[in-house]
Amino acid sequence: MNRKIRENFKLYTGMLISGLMLILAVIGLKFTPYDPNEMDVSSKLAGISMAHVMGCDNFGRDIFSRILAGIGTTMTVAVGTVFIGIVLGTVVGALTGYYGGRVDEILMRFNDAVLAFPALLLALVFISVMGPGKYNVMTALGILFAPGYARIIRGEFLRCRNLDYVQSAKLMGAGDMRIMFVHILPNAFQVMLSTIAIGFNNAVLAEAGMSFLGIGVQPPDPSLGLMLSEAQSYLFVRPGYAICTGIAMVLLILGFSMLSEGLENNA
């Protein structure tokens, strides 16, 4: 009883924080108080004021606007990454899980090898081949996340393949494609929900890490990781810059990690 409320509390808090960040992200993509890239030399490293609630950075850009826009960019990259990962993972997982056989075995071996490595490291290889930038980060991370999703989808398909309702759908003359995508897939996504939330987090972390290193999102695009690496140089004079940016990142990750745990406990 008590336990259930506590787990739901996690889910609701997660939803609350994530919802808030989502709203900030939407605002950040369109309606920031200032243009996040507009430089104003006169307010270089300005402190907190009515005009700039979090002050300005080294180019005189409004930090609050940049954080909003940064949340927007980071979320876009994360959503894009998860989307690419899910599409690829679902196709591979569904086909291998449903048909099985030799191809399935080889692909899963390959999958395990990829999963054993930190995604960030492999993303670095991709980036060094493809070059940095928002879209390359998305593609690289998306491809790297696919094996994880493929594995879960495959497991679900293996399990569902022989269930009664799939067999009866078969008897009623449903084609393989119809069975896979109409009958099995919706069930598989149920299982995927918490994994998707975790994937989102990993994407945020990886994007932030890569942008922090200067090989992710490229300036002048605002990104939380990029801003943190800029803020580091001004830690001494304007610690608020780094702290505000960092807190935005923590909230983004915290919301989704609580959401994912809440979903897992609910299932």
Partner 1 sequence: MRYIGKKLITMLVTVLIVTLLVFFAFRVIPGDPAVNMLGIKATPEKVERLREQMGLNRPLIIRYLEWLKDFFFGDMGKSYSYGSSVSDMLKSKIPITVALTLISFLFVIAIAIPLGIHTAKHEDKWYSKVLDVLNQIMMSVPPFFIGMLLTYLFGIILRWFTPGGYVSYRDSFAGFISYLILPSLAIAIPKAAMTNKLLKSSLLKESRLDYVRTAYSRGNSTSEVLYKHVLKNAMIPVITFLGMTLADIVAGSLIVEQVFSIPGIGRLLITSISNRDYPVVQAIITIIACIVILNNFIVDVLYKMIDPRISR
Mapped to the 3 state alphabet, what secondary structure does 70-114 carry?
HHHHHHHHHHHHHHHHHHHHHHHHHHHHHHCHHHHHHHHHHHHHH
Residues 115-144 that bind partner 1 (CB under 8 A): 116-118, 120-121, 124-125, 127-129
Residue 125 Cβ vs partner 1, minimum distance, rounded to whole Å: 6
Q: Does 250 bind partner 1 (CB under 8 A)?
A: yes
236 near partner 1, judged by CB under 8 A: yes
Scanning 38-46, 87-95, 168-176, 250-258 for contacts with partner 1 by CB under 8 A, the matching segment is 250-258
| Residue 164: count of CB within 10 angstroms of its CB | 7
The site string for partner 1 over 192-221 (x = CB under 8 A, - otherwise) reads: ---------x---x--xx--xxxx------
Tokens of 74: 């980071």
Nearest 5°: the CA angle 115, 118, 121 is: 125
Length of the chain: 267
Q: Please, what is the minimum distance in Å from the beta carbon of residue 32 to partner 1?
A: 22
Tell me the closest approach of the beta carbon of residue 103 to partner 1, in angstroms: 17
| Nearer of residues 5 and 172 to partner 1, judged by Cβ | 5
Is residue 75 involved in binding partner 1 (CB under 8 A)?
no
Cβ-Cβ contacts under 8 Å for 206 (sequence gap 6 or more)? 81, 119, 120, 123, 137, 141
Question: Nearest distance from residue 229's CB to partner 1, in Å?
Answer: 8
Which residues, at least 6 apart from 237, have a Cβ–Cβ distance to it below 8 Å?
Answer: 45
**Distance of alpha carbon 70 from alpha carbon 37, whole angstroms:** 11
| Position among 113, 163, 177, 182 found at the interface with partner 1 (CB under 8 A) | 113
Residues that bind partner 1 (CB under 8 A): 110, 113, 116-118, 120-121, 124-125, 127-129, 201, 205, 208-209, 212-215, 228-229, 231-232, 235-236, 239, 242-243, 246, 249-250, 253-254, 257-258
